[in-house]
Amino acid sequence: MTMKTRNEYISSKLKQTNYYALSKKEKGVVLTEIANTTELDKNYLSSKITSLQFESKVEKEISRIKNQRKPKYDKEVVLALQDIWNIYHKPCSEILHANLQSDTLNITLKDNKKQYTQRVIDLLKQISPKSIDNKLKEYKDKKRREAKYQNSKSDTLLKQTIKICLSNELDNTQPGSFSTDLVESCGSNASGLFIQTFSSTDVFSGWWFGHAVLRALETEIVKCLDLRNKLCPFRIFADHTDNGSPLLNRLTRAWYTKMNIQYTRSRPNQKNDNCFVEQKNYTHVRKYIGYLRFDTQEELEVLNELFQYLMDFRNFFLPTLKLTSKIRIGAKLHKQYKDIRTPFHRLIESDDVPPDVKNRLIWYRATLNPIKLSAKIQELQNTLYKVHSKKNGKITEIHASQKPVSLRFLTARQRSFRLHD
């Protein structure tokens, strides 16, 4: 029996018995029968039958793709649709469909520099609003992403003057080396004006500073940097940021030079280079204010008051984890977190913090009450969500006191804790 005859016999037997749908025991009986007839080894036959099954699946997929119906609106039509959508200032599908049906399309085609074939023009007049949405979906998403980051492109020459630093290269042996980022509160729409949170943390102790700004301009970021310097209980000697234009610009670089602070940046699109503050973006910001869109002055005031209490609560009473060892064994990465202390205790136990600063920290902590701080944070959260609901025309019942402490008093209280200039 030749190999060709054997293969024909095996194929016919598999189809006749519906081999792949049989149980394991029944497959064994069929396999024995084929082996006796073809005088082939059972193990060889088993692997051969498996490969035949795989080849049949591949052939089916190829035939499905070949027999797939060609799209009515091809790439040429979609490109023309994108051009016309941009010309008419990106309208919705219903308005664009009405334009394509009217004589407006003829005027557009007459004055447009790009020439389209008669086939494309006929298809543009036939397309429905639903098909317009489907064909433009990917293009709209791309434009939305570009609009979000179009103002985030920093000067290339400026980037070349600022050193790139990885997360494991940051100084974690003494307090004063900070990692900084901006957290957007834009909801699902990144266009227009919205509040961003200036979030900064000390690599050694985990000491956190947060402040909200309505406009992430260079001048506003410099004000945040000044406020962080005033409220921080120890001297800042280094700061590490990402490549966003609000944090990476000539004004902030001049400020760092003036304050004699080492200025480094992450690699583009590498969030792990700024991991010490990225991990705080959820635990210290998102966990308390969520992912809603905040864009009013009233919300800004409530947020900043919330962050003032939050800084006291998290820096003095909530322990943070620090990675003490990381060992790779084969494909697994084993991490150990043993240093579980509050930022306050790390500063107290550090030899790099002066005794007078430690005494001031101990005194200030004695004036705080974690229960009252926690209650006040929850009250401000309710106030924030109530303000947000009113803005959107919805009124929600909040079972908490709605009278916030004045910002002026809270700022004066924080400034009394200024430990250095």
pLDDT tens digit string along 316-350? 998 888 888 888 888 888 888 877 889 999 999 99
In a domain, 421, yes or no: no
Model pLDDT, residue 221: 92
User: 270 vs 409, which has greater pLDDT?
Assistant: 270
Instruction: Say if residue 366 is in the same domain as residue 311.
Output: yes
Instruction: Say if residue 330 is in the same domain as residue 403.
Output: yes
Point out the domain boundary residue: 127, 149, 171: 149
Q: Are the beta carbons of 240 and 274 closer than 8 angstroms?
A: yes
Rounded to the nearest integer, the mean pLDDT of the chain is 82
Instruction: Say if residue 227 is in the same domain as residue 132.
Output: no
Model pLDDT, residue 415: 38
Confidence at 57, pLDDT banded by 50, 70, 90: low
User: 272 vs 410, which has greater pLDDT?
Assistant: 272
In a domain, 346, yes or no: yes
Task: Report pLDDT digits (tens) over 385-406.
Answer: 999 988 866 544 433 333 333 3
Question: 149, 141, 145, 138: which is closest to 79 by C-alpha?
Answer: 138
**Does the pLDDT of residue 62 top 80, yes or no?**
no
Domain count along the chain: 3
Residues 266, 280: Cα–Cα separation, whole Å = 17
Task: Report pLDDT digits (tens) over 75-97.
Answer: 888 888 888 888 888 888 888 88
Model pLDDT, residue 113: 62
In a domain, 180, yes or no: yes
Instruction: Say if residue 173 is in the same domain as residue 299.
Output: yes
Instruction: Say if residue 332 is in the same domain as residue 193.
Output: yes
Sign of CA dihedral 405, 319, 344, 247: negative
Task: Report pLDDT digits (tens) over 7-50.
Answer: 888 888 887 888 877 888 888 888 888 888 888 888 888 887 77
Model pLDDT, residue 301: 94
Point out the domain boundary residue: 149, 176, 207: 149
Instruction: Say if residue 145 is in the same domain as residue 160.
Output: no
**Does the pLDDT of residue 411 top 50, yes or no?**
no
Task: Report pLDDT digits (tens) over 168-193.
Answer: 888 888 999 999 999 999 888 888 88
- List the alpha helices (DSSP H) in 112-154: 118-126, 129-149
In the chain, count H helices and then E strands.
Answer: 19, 8
User: 242 vs 153, which has greater pLDDT?
Assistant: 242
Instruction: Say if residue 278 is in the same domain as residue 313.
Output: yes
In the chain, pLDDT over 70 holds for what percent of residues? 85
**Does the pLDDT of residue 409 top 60, yes or no?**
no
Model pLDDT, residue 384: 93
In a domain, 293, yes or no: yes
User: 29 vs 306, which has greater pLDDT?
Assistant: 306
In a domain, 420, yes or no: no
Model pLDDT, residue 306: 95
Task: Report pLDDT digits (tens) over 117-165.
Answer: 888 888 888 889 999 999 999 998 888 877 766 655 556 678 888 888 8
CATH number for the domain that contains residue 394: 3.30.420.10
User: 212 vs 7, which has greater pLDDT?
Assistant: 212
Instruction: Say if residue 334 is in the same domain as residue 398.
Output: yes
Radius of gyration of the chain (CA): 32
Model pLDDT, residue 50: 75
Structural domain containing residue 102: 75-149
Confidence at 68, pLDDT banded by 50, 70, 90: low
Query: Poorest-confidence range of 113-117, 175-179, 198-202?
Result: 113-117
Residues 397, 386: Cα–Cα separation, whole Å = 8
Model pLDDT, residue 100: 85
Q: Are the beta carbons of 72 and 81 closer than 8 angstroms?
A: no
Residues 376, 311: Cα–Cα separation, whole Å = 12
Instruction: Say if residue 108 is in the same domain as residue 133.
Output: yes
Point out the domain boundary residue: 66, 91, 108: 66
In a domain, 284, yes or no: yes
Instruction: Say if residue 232 is in the same domain as residue 277.
Output: yes
Sign of CA dihedral 198, 305, 396, 296: negative
Instruction: Say if residue 225 is in the same domain as residue 356.
Output: yes
> Token pair for residue 240?
């590490």
Instruction: Say if residue 93 is in the same domain as residue 59.
Output: no
In a domain, 307, yes or no: yes
Model pLDDT, residue 403: 38
In a domain, 195, yes or no: yes
Contacts 24+ apart (CB under 8 A), 385-391: 385/292, 387/296, 387/298, 387/299, 387/302, 388/292, 388/294, 388/299, 391/296, 391/299
Model pLDDT, residue 59: 59
User: 152 vs 286, which has greater pLDDT?
Assistant: 286
Question: 134, 153, 211, 203: which is closest to 174 by C-alpha?
Answer: 203
